[in-house]
Amino acid sequence: MMSHFHHKDFQGVHYPLGHLDPFCVDVPLDALATKKIEIQVTFGCHCFTEIFDEALHQDHHRYMFRGELRAFDVLRYECSLQLPAIINAIFKGRIHLADGSYTYVAHITLTRIPSSQAYSVFFSLEKDHSKAGHALKMYVKSAYLKPLVTKSNAQTWRFISLAGEVSGAFEKKKKHQPKKRPRRVLFGSISVALRGSVALANRKTHRWAARSCCTRSRNVLLRIVTLTQH
């Protein structure tokens, strides 16, 4: 079967990319797995490439995917080998909102570096309208070694909570907003406006008043003014 990405030969080493082929998984939304959603996971080439810089990179770094020129990065590639397992861990973890994309940080150990390092995964999550029922599309835009960087007030969720909301499996909770009590200052300003309108109408002829509004409306306005003046 053909891989989603074309493989890369770099400095005499062959780097296959079949581990980043799209896959589909059923994710349970509760402990008893009574409710599940299907998630289609796809990866972007930024998971194993970086920005191509002519001052730093040469022709053998070039990696072209769907019209985008990038530079193959061995360290990102090495990290990406653990991505399928990390994605499955994301389903059980917490995620953060950062600049329009969701982020997840895993701590991974690389073969070349005998220590654990922070690995940030950036992805989007949206409803899959091509399928019936509750299904999602998860696109992993990029992933590389980097500590979690979010705003102090960044929103966080359990992944399954967000997935349930986006897919429609969970109903979004509406925030209760207490009714606003009427303010006297607003009533006073309305009363002043009505008095001004009536005074203006009184200065006009009865003929003009008959054309402008009906007698019943005029009586109502006069009654309101009378009440507010007492």
At 29-75, the pLDDT tens digits run: 987 778 899 999 999 999 999 999 999 999 999 999 999 999 999 99
Of 116, 132, 167, the last residue of a domain is: 167
Residues 104 and 67 placed together within one structural domain of the fold: yes
Look at residue 171 in the predicted model and tell me its pLDDT. 73
Separation CA 40–CA 9 (nearest Å): 29
For residue 2, is it within any domain? no
Residues 191 and 154 placed together within one structural domain of the fold: no
More confident residue, 173 or 229: 173
For residue 176, is it within any domain? no
Look at residue 211 in the predicted model and tell me its pLDDT. 47
Residues 136 and 219 placed together within one structural domain of the fold: no
For residue 3, is it within any domain? no
For residue 1, is it within any domain? no
For residue 141, is it within any domain? yes
Domain count, the chain: 2
**Does residue 184 register a pLDDT over 60?**
no
Residues 155 and 210 placed together within one structural domain of the fold: no
Range(s) of the domain holding residue 191: 184-229
pLDDT in tens, 114-154: 678 899 999 999 999 998 888 999 999 999 998 877 777 78
Residues 126 and 211 placed together within one structural domain of the fold: no
For residue 173, is it within any domain? no
For residue 113, is it within any domain? yes
C-alpha triplet 210, 211, 216: angle, nearest 5°: 45
Query: Does the pTM exceed 0.85?
Result: no
**Does residue 5 register a pLDDT over 90?**
yes
